[in-house]
Amino acid sequence: DSGVTQTPKHLITATGQRVTLRCSPRSGDLSVYWYQQSLDQGLQFLIQYYNGEERAKGNILERFSAQQFPDLHSELNLSSLELGDSALYFCASSVTSGIENEQFFGPGTRLTVL
């Protein structure tokens, strides 16, 4: 158990819908990262937040958005869902903002878009 929690564990929805994935970092970690892992694309970095502020942005679609709240939990919002958005979404956390720091991954949310 990494100490990072993600909810829900599984999510099944339809195309065009909007969903919110939630992540709580390890106690004391200020940085949160979101990743998408699909069979055809592998693991891809989406976005990083540090202490409430966006720190780095990767291959995140405009239909996706994220935020980190004052209590440091983070949410990833996915809208106008498409079949290709079906994937495992991981959240990770680390103590500081430097990406070289060890990241601890949550168990992931498996999103299925039908």
Partner 1 sequence: GQNIDQPTEMTATEGAIVQINCTYQTSGFNGLFWYQQHAGEAPTFLSYNVLDGLEEKGRFSSFLSRSKGYSYLLLKELQMKDSASYLCAVSGGSGGSYIPTFGRGTSLIVHP
Q: Beta partners for 112? A: 12
Among the residue ranges 16-24, 67-75, 76-84, 98-106, the one whose residues contact partner 1 (CB under 8 A):
98-106
For residue 16, the minimal CB distance to partner 1 (Å) is 28
14 binds partner 1 (CB under 8 A): no
62 binds partner 1 (CB under 8 A): no
CA dist 96 and 105 (Å) reads 15
CA dist 38 and 24 (Å) reads 22
Member of 24, 74, 93, 103 binding partner 1 (CB under 8 A)? 103
Measured CA angle at 81 (ends 75, 84), to 5 deg: 105
The letter for the amino acid at 65 is: S
Q: Could you give the string, one character per residue 17-56, with x where binding to partner 1 holds by CB under 8 A and - elsewhere?
A: -------------------------xxxx----------x
β-strands 5-7, 104-105 pairing? unpaired
| Stretch (H or E) spanning 45 | strand 42-50
Among the residue ranges 13-21, 67-75, 77-85, 93-101, the one whose residues contact partner 1 (CB under 8 A):
93-101
CA dist 46 and 55 (Å) reads 11
89 binds partner 1 (CB under 8 A): no
Contacts to partner 1 by CB under 8 A: 2, 42-45, 56-58, 90, 98-100, 102-108
